[in-house]
Amino acid sequence: MAHLIVAIAGILLILAIVWDAFEALVLPRTATRTLRPTRLFYQTTWPAWVAVACFLARGRRRESFLAIFGPLSILILMACWATALVFGFAMIQWGLGSRFNAPTGNSGFWTDLYLSGTTLFTLGIGDVTPIGPLARALTVVEAGVGFGFLALVMGYLPVLYQGFSRREVNISLLDARAGSPPSAGELLRRHGHDMPELETLLRDWERWSAELMESHLSYPVLMFFRSQHEHQSWLGALTAVLDASALVMVGVEGAPGRQAQLTFAMARHAVVDLAMVTGARPSAPDPDRLAPEDFHSLRASLAQDGVVLKDGAVAERTLASLRAMYEPYVTALAQRLRLSLPAWRAADHELDDWRTSAWDTSGELPRFKLDDDHL
């Protein structure tokens, strides 16, 4: 009876792992089940990784440590899947009575485990061989599962990194268009005299938001992949575009209001869905990202560069209602992923990433506006 229970448990373990790998690697949509090995894996390992990161000093060292988690977690998860499959097939072999030939005779479950491991990874050593049709059939099935598992892994990684590369291209392009880190105020200021270019940028980011949502819902692990530059992140860039779209929707003279609405709708859809996938409950930003006095300062700063933002209580209420539609979700994602949200207005001392390098210790380069004749 005990052997039968172990064999059934092994079958259930294999089915659970195979289905979990199918949902994670093949199924082009987000799995909604709560009890999933992959979900439990990330719910356990990410908080532990963050706890270790808290012992490191804030800044580049902590960011570098957090950046390791995404790629490393994939390898660890696949190793956990493989280990579970090896144990599952070994449990079935043991439940069937450990029917095999071994050089030292029947050594119990450890020999079953050894046979299972060599079979899953298709080593073909041959020192331990199954006896009987059922044990042989099980060995063939395990070899097929192992071959398919390795094929899925080899096909999964290129797709994952292609999605990451496509995501990062627009983030890098935003550096010269909205500053480092990007901000809505800087984005509008740099396009104040070129509103057609702003419309093109918002259209590109509408499509980028849609691609981000589809790729990150299919492969949620991409959310843990951090950008290569310290002042860049997919969430920070998306938030800056949402902020800028909200300001244009409130009212900016000559700005593409219709395109801002479309970009805002798509970007907001993305952050809401991604927050649901990560289990990040929406929460109000604390402190407020744009206090009333900061809003008046932002309006005055934009006016100096020819960007006239609509004034009045109606404009402030409209902006507040738009912010309430997305800020709780980006705040929750930032807390969950340990990412920083951008300010609405760029700090005066911040240099764009393209202005700096590891060899430029002074950080002093000629300062000029991107809409000047220098470019």
Q: What is the pLDDT of residue 192?
A: 83
At 369 the pLDDT is 45
Say what the pTM is.
0.86
| Cα–Cα distance, 82 to 120 (Å, whole number) | 8
Residue in 88, 220, 234, 104 with CA at minimum distance from that of residue 167: 234
Which DSSP string corresponds to 194-244? -HHHHHHHHHHHHHHHHHHHHHHHH-GGGGGPPPSSTT--HHHHHHHHHHH
Q: What was the pLDDT predicted at 105?
A: 62
Residue positions counted in the chain:
375
Best CATH choice for the domain 2-156 from the list 3.30.413.10, 2.60.40.650, 1.10.287.70, 3.90.600.10 = 1.10.287.70
State the pLDDT at residue 375: 44
pLDDT of residue 31: 63
Give per-10-residue mean pLDDT for the chain (375 aa): 88 93 79 78 94 89 92 93 94 86 73 89 81 88 90 86 91 89 92 89 96 91 88 93 95 90 96 91 89 88 88 89 96 94 82 70 47 44
The domain locations on the chain are 2-156, 174-355
What pLDDT does residue 372 have? Answer: 43
Which residues are within 8 A (CB) of 302 and not within 5 positions of it... i.e. 6 or more apart? Answer: 185, 188, 189, 192, 308, 309
